[in-house]
Amino acid sequence: MAPQPHGPTGLPFDDIRSLLTSMPGPDEAALAAVRMREADLTKPAGSLGRLEQIVEWVAAWSANAKPRVDRPLVAIFATSHGVTRNQVSAFPDSVNRQMLENFAAGGAAINQICVANDIGLKVFDLAIDVPTPDIATDDAFDEAGCAATIAFGMEAIVGADLLCLGEMGIGNTTVASAVLNGLYGGSAEDWVGPGTGVDKAGLARKTETVRQAVARHEGHLGDPLEVLRRLGGREIAALAGAIMAARLQRIPVLLDGFVVSAAAAVLHRLDPTSLDHCLAAHVSAEPAHAEVLRRIGKAPLLDLGMRLGEASGAALACGIVKNALAIHQGMATFEQAGVSGKVAGPH
């Protein structure tokens, strides 16, 4: 069959929409099996708090009655943004390529977290030397380019049993704020924060940039994929694809901070069940992140005042997931250990 042209009104966004309607749900048998075992373990019911729900979550979304995480993966999508010409970051664009080299040399924060928690690391270079257009004045993508970048993110994900998603891209907190403002409305101030640490004047430039970008597209922001196409960036599009690919491959996902949450929010606006296989690893110090988490209905596992990105919060939370699973698999049952169960009647 001849390849189909991707016009602005036809495929491929429709392909993405239809894929979202055919995502697998939770595995109820695996869920029931871990709940049954959980009740027999030598501890008061519920005493491990959210760790118990984490085990259920891994079982349900990996479709495994004996859930394990042996091959966790951090995937970082890295790119650059034309919006930085508005001086919206405390750091220059040159940091993008330099950080790619730092990731490869093992010198970044995420490298150390991966070593400490035995997590694989893959960094995907999304044309790091070619910035996307400045969203204050141009669309980030055409439809074919946006869909192709989502597809790139989908194809990037193979062979993991837990996925920690992160990003690198100077200026991307501005882009994330624009996407979130486009999706959820309100004013630019509601969604903008210091990112890498801009000063008051920098924050004012960020706010004005987001305001301009969103105002340019008024009347076209009803479709979340159009918000992504007009106001997004390559890492945000690829992250959306990666979240979808993980669902199709039954890989549970740990979402990182503010920037990753913008990709998640696009999917959530398309279909609120599309993030059911995802947990929010942490709440970033970027002020609007807590509101995004509220909107996508996720309570963060960690609140450490982090605001780095790079999947750093997600990779830390991977350690908690591994601990939860080790406890569940390794503990003795009341019967095995000869420990008395809860006494009947009121106490």
Ligand X SMILES: Cc1cc2ncn([C@H]3O[C@H](COP(=O)(O)O)[C@@H](O)[C@H]3O)c2cc1C
Ligand Y SMILES: O=C(O)c1cccnc1
Q: Which residues are catalytic?
A: 310
Q: Which one, 67 or 195, has the nearer CB to ligand X?
A: 195
> Using CB distances below 5 to 8 A depending on partner kind, what does residue 258 bind out of ligand Y, ligand X, none?
ligand Y
Q: Which one, 69 or 198, has the nearer CB to ligand Y?
A: 198
Supply φ then ψ for residue 225, to 5 degrees.
Answer: -70, -30
Q: Which one, 224 or 309, has the nearer CB to ligand Y?
A: 309
Q: Does residue 74 touch ligand Y according to CB under 6 A?
A: no
> Rounded to the nearest whole angstrom, what is the least distance from the CB of residue 228 to ligand X in the complex?
17
CA count, 13 A, side-chain hemisphere, 225: 24
User: Which window, 104-112, 147-155, 211-219, 256-264, contacts ligand Y (CB under 6 A)?
Assistant: 256-264
Q: Which one, 131 or 257, has the nearer CB to ligand Y?
A: 257
Strand pairing report for 278-280 and 253-255: parallel
Peptide bond into 287 cis (omega under 30): no
CB 95, CB 168: distance < 8 Å: no
In DSSP notation, 175-224 reads HHHHHHHHHH-S-HHHH---TTT--HHHHHHHHHHHHHHHHHTTTS-SSH
> Using CB distances below 5 to 8 A depending on partner kind, what does residue 150 bind out of ligand Y, ligand X, none?
none
Q: Which residue has the tokens 């990003």?
A: 167
Q: Does residue 309 touch ligand X according to CB under 6 A?
A: yes
Q: Does residue 173 touch ligand Y according to CB under 6 A?
A: yes
Which tokens go with 179?
């996407």
**CB under 8 A, 24+ apart: contacts of 213-221:** 213/83, 213/135, 213/136, 213/178, 214/178, 214/181, 214/182, 214/188, 216/136, 216/137, 217/182, 221/182, 221/183
Q: Which of 284, 288, 301, 325 binds ligand Y (CB under 6 A)?
A: 284
Q: Is 163 helix (H, G, I), strand (E, B) or coil?
A: strand
> Rounded to the nearest whole angstrom, what is the least distance from the CB of residue 188 to ligand Y in the complex?
17
Q: Which of 12, 82, 182, 195 binds ligand X (CB under 6 A)?
A: 195
Q: Does residue 195 touch ligand Y according to CB under 6 A?
A: yes
- Letter string b/e over residues 212-224, b meaning 16 or more CB atoms within 10 A of that residue's CB: bbbebbeeebeeb
Q: Which of 119, 140, 165, 168 binds ligand X (CB under 6 A)?
A: 168
Alpha carbon distance 278, 214 (integer Å): 28
> Using CB distances below 5 to 8 A depending on partner kind, what does residue 165 bind out of ligand X, ligand Y, none?
none
Q: Which one, 56 or 286, has the nearer CB to ligand Y?
A: 286
CA triple 89-186-225, angle to 5 deg = 75
Exposed, middle or buried by CB within 10 Å (0-12, 13-18, 19+), for 85?
A: middle
User: Which window, 71-79, 130-138, 231-239, 257-265, contacts ligand Y (CB under 6 A)?
Assistant: 257-265
User: Which window, 115-123, 139-147, 223-231, 250-258, contacts ligand Y (CB under 6 A)?
Assistant: 250-258
Q: Which one, 84 or 284, has the nearer CB to ligand Y?
A: 284
Q: Does residue 309 touch ligand Y according to CB under 6 A?
A: yes
User: Which window, 91-99, 156-164, 292-300, 332-340, contacts ligand X (CB under 6 A)?
Assistant: 91-99
> Using CB distances below 5 to 8 A depending on partner kind, what does residue 111 bind out of ligand Y, ligand X, none?
none
CB atoms under 10 Å from CB of 187, counted, come to: 12
Q: Does residue 173 touch ligand X according to CB under 6 A?
A: yes
Residue whose C-beta lies closest to ligand X: 195
Alpha carbon distance 274, 150 (integer Å): 15
- List residues binding ligand X (CB under 6 A): 89-91, 95, 99, 167-174, 195-196, 308-310
- List residues binding ligand Y (CB under 6 A): 173, 195-196, 256-259, 284, 286, 289, 307, 309
